[in-house]
Every structure is written in C-alpha cells, then in structure tokens.
Structure 1
Amino acid sequence: MRIGILGAGGMADALGTQWHRAGHEVMISGRDAEKTAALAARMTGAAKVQEREVLAGTFAEAAAFGDVVMAAVLEAGLTDVLAAAGTALRGKPLIDVTNVHPDAYDPTRPIAGAAADLTGAHVVKAFNLCHVDVWRMTPPVFDGRPLAVPLCGDDPAALELVRRLVADLGCTPLDGGGLARATLLEATAAFVIGLWFAGADAQAILTPKEHAGA
C-alpha cells in the first residue's frame, strides 16, 4: 500500500516508520523541505528496510502519492494543510489522528467531520487515543493484550484499508461506528488525556468486560 502522510512530526515518524517496516511505501510531507527530508532519512534507517526509502515531498505530493493519506498535524494548522494537499484528497481514504488540548475541545466543532467537508475525502478517525510513543512499540501489547484501536468512518473500503494498517502494527481494529461518532472518539481523547495530565490512571475508569453488565 502507498501511504501519504501530511506532516513530519512525531506521529508521522512513529506510524510511518512502522508501516514502512511492514512493507508499505511511505511519503511524509512538511512545510520545511530540508527537515522533512532529514526525517525521511532517519525513518528509513530506523525501519531497517534497505531495498526502499521513506520518501519526502510537499503536502500536495503526499496526497497524490497515497492510496490512503494520514493527516498528522496540529489541529491549528489542519485546515491550511488540507487546503495545501489539494484536490487529490477527494474520494480518497483520509486517516485523521488529530486531537486538541483537553481544555479546548469543542464537541460542536468536530475535527473529523470538518476534514471530510473540506476535502471530500473518506475520513476515518483513528489512532488518537494514545501517546506517540505507544506507536513506536513493536507491538503495543499491555498485560498480554494487544492494543485495540477504534475506527469511526462511513466508507467501507476506507475502513478496510485502515483496519489493515492497524493490524500491521500488531493492534486490534474496533468498529466505532460512522463518522458522526468520531465526535465521541475526539471527546473521549480530550477527557482521558485530561485525566492523564492530572496524573490519574485513566485506564482504571473502565471495568473488565465481564463486569460491564448483561
């Protein structure tokens, strides 16, 4: 699979390196061409795949390159980056991993829904519940249980591609419902990240499945 990544930060590095290692072709993109190229070279070395390299390009080039595209930029710059990516995103699977600061999230302004409206892409909300370092783990397994990754989206083909990418990380994809429910996933991230910021163990708020009722 060809994966275009809009962004050249931690999420692009962590997820892009894992997917490159898993056999996919990856292009990252950023505003600073020199820094983006340097990150692509580091990702190539970290993945230890000698026969091909992680590529670096512009936002428009990465959008055109990918069979699936991931938006991995700060929420404040997301609109500008999606505009720079251009019309290549229309009708294409677009993974949205974006969060905002817990105190700033507004459920009346869903991020994933706005991305879909701006681009005409088949947006899938995913990978937004974990710190970037979790995505560097090979694989992310806790107490013998692979990490589960909820997905929210409307397009079956886009969801299937993202499920494959989740599985390539050694994680378990979970059906979280349609794109309208991505607002709940974004709000969940804002809530639990706020707990983590406060020093709480956010995972402790949920009981094991056998204690979840009939």
Structure 2
Amino acid sequence: MRIGIAGTGSMARALGARWARAGHDVLVGGRDTDRAAALAERIGARAGTLRDAARHGRDAVLLAVPYAAAVGVAAGLGDTVRGRTLIDCTNPVAPGFLLETGGGPSAAERIAAAVPAASVVKGFNLCHESVWSLTPPVFGGRPLAVPLCGDDAAALATVRGLVRDLGCEPVNGGGLHRAGLLEATAAFLIGLWVGEGADAQAIAPPLEYAGVGAS
C-alpha cells in the first residue's frame, strides 16, 4: 500500500516503522521538513510536506499530530485527501484525564467535518506508542485487539489490513458516531494507567465470563 503519514511525532515513528517494515510504501510529511526527513531516514520511508503525505497516501493517510492541531492540519490537507482513507489516532485528553471535546462531537467527527471528502477511521488510540513498536504486540499469547470506528466499508477494510500487518486483531467498533466512546475509553484507561498505576487490562473479564448471551 501507499501510506502517507501526516506528522513526525512518536505515533508517526512507531506505526510508520512497522508499516515500512511490512513492505508498504510510506512517506512522512511534516511542517518541519528537516524533521520529516530525519524520521523518514530512521524508519525507511520517504519524506515531504504534510500535503505530500496526503498526496502519497493513495491507500491511507495517518493523521499523527496532537489533537490540538489535528482539525487544523486535516483542514489544511484540503482536496488532497479526497476519496482517501484518513486514520485518526488522536486522543483529546485534557488535564484530569477528561475529554477536551466535552459533550460535543468527538475528535474524529470534528476531523471528518473538516475534510468531508475523506473517509475517516478512528483507531490506534488506546495504546502508548511503545506498544506499537512491539513485534508483535502479543500479551499472554493473545494478540492486541484494535477497535476501529468508521462509516466507509472500503476504508475500514484497508485499516483492518494495516492492523493485521502489526500482528494485531481488528475489532469492529461501529460507525464514526461511536468514536466518542472510543476516545472516552482512552481517557479513562490513561487515567487508570498514569493516575492510579492500575493494570487496566484486569478490569474486564474474559469473554466467556462476560455474560454474553446469558439469560
């Protein structure tokens, strides 16, 4: 696949490196083109501007910038992402592990509104970047599950493939209207991990004990 990465931070590095290693044609773009070039050289990708990343990402574009900049960056990509799959991995987490988006539209919905010509998929937002660098992210013999929210079947199929390239398992999280639940889950889990030092994975029972289908 041809993948564009808009951003030069830790998520761009972790996911971009894994996808480049999987054989995808990756181009990293940033406002600071020198920084983009340095990251691209490190992970085995090409480099350019943010719009170069959008143009290159014929199959998918990863929006890997802080949430505070995400809507503006997405809007700035403009028509270059028309018909493209735009992956939103941002977390709108405010101090106190609350959502910056409050009770309003989710971050993913705001990004989608800024670039209505693209198909936005929410995902990769529940884990620290160090997890995505693991080869593969398997814990106790169980591959990491990655929930995805989106409305476009083709875009979701593309992102599911990219999830599997990391050695993970994609999970259907529903339409983009459910992305706010995924973002709230991230805020809650980060609060448990960072604020309490809790093993957040231990808060949910295995599926066979979850009462699914119980009368």
TM-score by length of 2: 0.92
The alpha carbon displacement at 1:36 in A equals 1.1
* 2:81 pairs with one of 89, 97, 101: 89
Q: Residue 103 of structure 1 corresponds to which residue in structure 2?
A: 98
Match of residue 27 from structure 2? 27
1:1-214 aligned within 5 A: 1-44=1-44, 54-66=45-57, 67-101=59-93, 102-105=97-100, 106-120=102-116, 121-198=118-195, 199-213=197-211, 214=214
Q: CA deviation at 1:168?
A: 0.4
- Superposed CA deviations along residues 182-211 of structure 1, whole A, max 9, x for unmatched, are 111011001111111111111111111111
Separation of aligned partners in 1, 2:103 and 2:54: 27
2:206 is aligned with what amino acid? P
State the distance in 2 between where 1:107 and 1:70 align.
25
Residues 3 and 27 of structure 2 are in contact (CA less than 8 Å); yes or no, is this contact kept in structure 1?
yes
The CA deviation string for residues 43-100 of structure 1, in whole angstroms up to 9 with x for no partner, is 12xxxxxxxxx01111111101102111000011112211222211122111000002
State the Cα deviation string for residues 99-124 of structure 1 (Å, max 9, x = none): 02223432423100011111011110
Q: What is the alpha-carbon distance in structure 2 between the residues aligned to residue 35 and residue 159 of structure 1?
A: 30
* TM, length-normalised to structure 1: 0.93
> In the aligned structure 1, how far is the partner of 2:106 from the partner of 2:82?
19
Distance 1:196 1:13 in 2: 22
8 A Cα contact 1:103 1:190, kept in partner: yes
Q: What CA distance in whole angstroms lies between the structure 1 residues aligned with 2:92 and 2:119?
A: 21
Runs of at least 5 residues in structure 2 that lack an aligned partner in the other structure: none
TM superposition outliers: structure 1 runs of 4+ over 6 Å: none
C-alpha contact (below 8 Å) 2:99/2:184 kept by paired residues: no
Report how far residue 30 of structure 1 moved: 1.1
The answer as to whether partners of 1:123 and 1:153 remain within 8 angstroms in 2 is: yes
d(CA) in 2 for partners of 1:109 and 1:136? 31
Q: Distance in 2 between matches of 1:107 and 1:182?
A: 13
CA RMSD across the alignment = 1.0
- Alpha-carbon distance between aligned partners in 2 of 1:160 and 1:150, rounded to the nearest angstrom: 13
Deviates more, 1:2-11 or 1:195-204: 195-204
